[in-house]
């Protein structure tokens, strides 16, 4: 018969994974990707090391990905 570790399970929110820990990781990754895509157009990045404000969406997205490694980058909502 089927062994549990070799089957794919369909979890909530259309996540298909082999086990629960993979499903939790995929759910959190998809949530972060969706949040970034939804809110990135409404953010600006202020880089205090380079003394500039980053307003272009693709550069804000790159700064958001690098913000964990680079200090003094702050994200603010556009007004």
pLDDT band with cut points at 50, 70 and 90 for residue 2: very low
Q: Would you say residue 15 lies in a domain? A: no
pLDDT in tens, 36-46: 777 888 889 99
Query: What total number of domains does the chain contain?
Result: 1
Q: Would you say residue 14 lies in a domain? A: no
Q: Would you say residue 18 lies in a domain? A: no
Mean pLDDT of the chain: 78
Bridge partners of 2, per DSSP, are none
* Nearest by Cα to 61 from 37, 30, 77: 37
The pLDDT of residue 8 is 64
Residue 53 has pLDDT above 90, yes or no: yes
Give the domain range for residue 70. Answer: 24-77
Q: Would you say residue 49 lies in a domain? A: yes
Q: Would you say residue 52 lies in a domain? A: yes
* Nearest by Cα to 72 from 48, 50, 44: 48
Q: Would you say residue 2 lies in a domain? A: no
Q: Would you say residue 16 lies in a domain? A: no
Q: Would you say residue 58 lies in a domain? A: yes
The pLDDT of residue 3 is 53
- pTM to 2 decimals? 0.53
């Amino acid at each position: 018969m089927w062994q549990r570790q070799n089957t794919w399970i369909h979890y909530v929110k259309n996540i298909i994974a082999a086990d629960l820990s993979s499903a939790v990781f995929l759910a959190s990754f998809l949530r972060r990707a969706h949040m970034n895509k939804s809110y990135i157009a409404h953010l600006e990045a202020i880089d205090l090391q380079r003394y500039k404000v980053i307003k272009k969406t693709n550069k804000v997205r790159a700064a958001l990905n690098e913000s964990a490694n680079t200090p003094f980058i702050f994200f603010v909502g556009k007004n």
